[in-house]
Amino acid sequence: MAKNPNRPLSPHLQVYRWSPQMAISIFHRATGFVLATAGMMTLLWWLSAIGGGAESYATFQQYVVSAGADGTVLQVASNWFFRLVALAVTFSFFQHLASGLRHLVLDIGAGYELKTNRLWASVAFVAAIFATALVALFVASRFLGVL
């Protein structure tokens, strides 16, 4: 097939200039995937604990429900990988919530002006970071005794 040099280029990510609106749309999908994956893994863990018998389910409850009276939950929470995953899931929750509320406002028909749309996309990022920081500070001070 012969190439016609006069044909327009296909629009792709290298052609577009990145904006907060594009980034928040991609982040909304990515955080939805993170939340769905974390939720599915927790559900599968719960179902396998139920299928594993009383001892297995007691272990599941100890990790998920218990306040760590015997120290096991706090030992898990002190693991740096667990903290990183918990922080990522917390950020994903708040980012998905903030961008979902933004999409709800857009579905109503408001906020389509360029400046307003860009502002609310940026506000959603800032709100997610702020809410994640508040939760991290609360958990660090209340449960881990760090602060």
Binding site as annotated, residues: 96
Would you list which residues are annotated within the binding site for heme? 96
Rounded to whole angstroms, what are the CA distances from 123 to 11, 83, 87, 130?
28, 26, 20, 10
CA distance 73 to 66: 7
Query: Which residue, 100, 89, 85, is CA-closest to 28?
Result: 100
